[in-house]
Amino acid sequence: MKDVEMKMLERAKALLESGEVARVIGWKKGDFCFDPAPASFETVEELDNFVYDYFCGANLSKYLIQMSKKEGKTAVFLKPCDTYSFNQLVKEHRIKRENVYVIAVECMAKLDIEKIKAKGISMVESVEVVGKEVKVTSAYGVETLYKPDVVLTKCATCTKTHQVKDEEIILHERPARDVDRFEEVAKLEAMTADERFAFWREQLSKCIRCNACRNVCPACSCVKCVFDNPASGIAAKANDDKFEEQLFHVIRAFHVAGRCTDCGECSRVCPQNIPLHLLNRKFIKDIDNLYGEYQAGETDEGKTPLTSYTEGDAEPNDVMNGEAK
Amino acid sequence: MQEVTTEKKEFTPNIVAFCCNWCSYAGADLAGSSRLTYPANVKIIRVPCSCRVNPMFILKAFQQGADGVILCGCHPGDCHYVTGNYYTRRRMSLLFSFLSYMGIEKERTRVEWVSAAEGARFSAVMNDFVKTVTELGENKRLTDLRIKEGK
Ligand code: SF4
Ligand code: SF4
């Protein structure tokens, strides 16, 4: 990871020094080793705070909506999953492509500090990853964890590879992994309606409507969101005791259906640890089954499943009765 | 010993039917003028095209107390605006499948294609839907999440 970071830093410096780009979007050091934050660097000096490590899970593509409209080019580091969001945003004309310089970087599967803490380790000071081992140094000593146990959920079920062309790629491109990202969805589908309802009630009633999932989502890029409209009756910060939790999540998932790249940011940022990816993946799974496999953000052109149709599409009632496949 | 009579009050569901102006709404008219009946608890909301129905309308209908929501449009290929119902078909397939995934009984939502000439079909569809929802009972799941079981 250190060598990737070095190379990234080198590129960032060179691009800023030569004036080829006006700013670089990357991650800067946080207060702790586990909370680096997205940041924009405009000078070489500012790069002193630059960091790229196993906690840089944030997807930077959404920042380009604003940054690409500024004067001068913006360089951005994109991990494999982020490149899909980037393509999707370009396709939706939200990013000025010509103003962006993409540097695709290897991710190496990011760590989830919550999962590390859940192992009973607190006051984490530093981590070191060697192969499948994570050595965590805390105020109480050193512990070694098995990496697949503590990576971000989105990384654990990731099947993505870099999707941007004509730009430089730092370090080797990772081959696509073969994992079944729909496993959990299928488990839920196999339950009875009562069990599913109980599952979601338990999950969604934790929601505090902080809106973090919406704010971080690259597919939620509307200038004025329906949930910010006071006339909608659901603009309130906290959910009422009505069915608003469901309403918010159904509508949000529906609005990003066919456009959600499954970048996993929503689940990553949710302070309540609600498995939001299980909502979006249901739509993705249904779309794949009914209208042919579709991966949003694989390219930056073409129609999405919900803005197209074929005459022989499945009938809703057949879908509901499980007869359409 | 006193005999206990349990008089069950019959449940009449609230049904909201979104009907396209060009077909099923006229179909309802035809049903009426042909003296075919459909239950009075079906509340029809006229829309210019089935694809005018935003998922929010459906959820709001449930929130306001609907026990079942049915969406009627022109048969695929016959849309007054040529392609509207093709989009409806995809949207509603996905939305209703999703609601079922969230644990909402799938019998509460339905899409039917009813043309202006199908008065009898309109009446049959509505009677059948009302019967299904009546058997299912009251909608509790899309009104208040925090109601605890058994209360
Ligand atoms: S991030 Fe989590 S708690 Fe916040 S609004 Fe989204 S689901 Fe609710
Ligand atoms: S809904 Fe979640 S997974 Fe999908 S694009 Fe938005 S943040 Fe990413």
What pLDDT, on the 0 to 100 scale, is given for residue A223? 87
pLDDT of residue A208: 87
CA distance A222 to chain B (A): 17
Q: What angle do CA A277, A83, A8 make, to 5 degrees?
A: 120
Beta-carbon separation of A313 and B101 below 8 A: no
Three-state DSSP class for residue A190: coil
Residue B134 has pLDDT above 90, yes or no: yes
- Calculate mean pLDDT across residues A87-97: 93
pLDDT above 90 coverage of chain A, percent: 66
**Chain A neighbors of B142, CB-CB under 8 A:** 243, 246
What is the nearest CA distance from A287 to chain B, expressed in angstroms? 8
What are the tokens at A290? Answer: 């009914």
Kindly state if the Cβ of A59 falls inside 6 Å of ligand 2.
no
> Is A262 close to ligand 2, i.e. is its CB under 6 Å away?
yes
pLDDT digits (tens, 9 = 90+) for B68-78: 999 999 999 99
A301 CB-near residues (< 8 Å, 6+ apart): A91
Confidence at residue B57, expressed as pLDDT on a 0 to 100 scale? 92
| Minimum CA–CA partner of A247 in chain B | B59
C-alpha A17: how far from chain center: 31
- A290 interaction partners in chain B (CB closer than 8 Å): 90, 93-94
Q: Region A42-59: what's the mean pLDDT? A: 93
Q: Which of A18-32, A240-254, B47-61 has the lowest mean pLDDT?
A: A240-254
Q: Test A316 with B93 for CB contact under 8 angstroms.
A: yes
Interface test with A, best of B94, B143, B146, B151 (most A CBs within 10 A): B94
Q: What is residue B147's predicted lDDT score, i.e. its pLDDT?
A: 39
Where are the extended beta strands (E) located within A212-262? none
Measured CA to CA, the distance from residue A275 to residue A156 in angstroms comes to 13
A 262-291 residues inside an 8 A Cβ radius of B? 279, 282-283, 286-287, 290-291
Tokens of residue A103, six digits: 């540097």
The answer on pLDDT for A24 being more than 80 is yes
Mutation target among A304, A315, A323, A325 for the B interface, most CBs of B within 10 A: A315
Amino acid making up residue A79: K
pLDDT at position A315 over 60 = yes
CA count, 13 A, side-chain hemisphere, A231: 1
Structural tokens at position A82: 């982020």
Q: Report whether A284 contacts A262 (CB < 8 A).
A: yes
Ligand 2 in reach of A5 Cβ (< 6 A) = no
pLDDT band per the 50, 70, 90 thresholds, residue A286: very high
Name the least confident of A113-122, A123-132, A206-215, A315-324. Answer: A315-324
Note the pLDDT tens digit of each residue in A164-207.
876 777 766 677 778 889 999 999 999 999 999 999 988 988 88
Q: Of the ranges A122-136, A268-282, B94-108, B136-150, which one carries the lowest mean pLDDT score? A: B136-150
Q: How confident is the model at residue B145 (pLDDT cuts 50, 70, 90)?
A: very low
CB pairs under 8 A between A and B: 123
pLDDT cut 70: percent of chain B above it: 89
In this complex, do B143 and A242 lie within 8 Å of one another by their Cβ atoms? yes
- Ligand 2 binding pocket includes A264 (Cβ within 6 Å): yes
The whole-angstrom separation of Cα A276 and Cα A265 is 9
Nearest Cβ partner of B143 from A200, A243, A311? A243
**In a 10 Å sphere around its CB, with 0-12 CB exposed, 13-18 middle and 19+ buried, how is residue A29 labelled?**
middle
- Domain boundaries of chain A, sorted by first residue: 1-110+158-176, 113-150, 180-325
Question: How high is the ipTM of this complex?
Answer: 0.89
Average pLDDT over residues A290-297: 92
Contacts of A120 (CB under 8 A, 6+ apart): none
| A108 shares contact with chain B (CB less than 8 Å) | no
Residue A176's pLDDT is 74
Count of alpha carbons within 13 angstroms of residue A161, beta-carbon side = 8
How far is A59 from A82, CA to CA, in rounded Å?
Answer: 6
**The model's pTM:** 0.90
Q: Is the pLDDT of residue B63 over 90?
A: no
B56 to chain A: which residues are within 8 Å by CB? Answer: 226, 232, 247, 251
Residues in chain B with CB shorter than 8 Å from the CB of A207 are none
The mean pLDDT of A12-26, rounded to a whole number, is 94
* Coil, helix or strand at residue A141: strand
Look-up of token digits 């709404």: B25
Let me know: does A283 contact B96? Beta carbons within 8 Å: no
Range B15-149 has CATH code 3.40.50: yes
Contact, A22 vs A32, CB < 8 A? no
Point out the residue among B89, B93, B103 whose CB comes nearest to the CB of A193.
B103
**Which percentage of chain A shows pLDDT scores above 70?**
94
Residue numbers in A near B76 (CB within 8 A): 311, 313
> Pick from B14, B39, B9, B18: which is nearest to B139 by CA?
B14
Task: Yes or no: say if A191 and A199 are a contact pair by the CB < 8 Å rule.
Answer: yes
Residue B5 confidence (pLDDT) above 90: no
Say yes or no: B95 contacts chain A, CB-CB below 8 A: yes
Which residues does A281 contact at the CB level (< 8 Å), separation at least 6?
A: A181, A182, A184, A185, A262
- Amino acid occupying residue A37: A
Q: Which of B129, B84, B136, B127 is nearest to B110 (CA)?
A: B129
Phi, psi of A158 (to 5 degrees): -80, 135
**CA torsion through residues A138, A142, A146, A147, sign:** positive
Contacts of B99 in chain A (CB under 8 A): 250
Closest ligand to residue A266's CA? 2
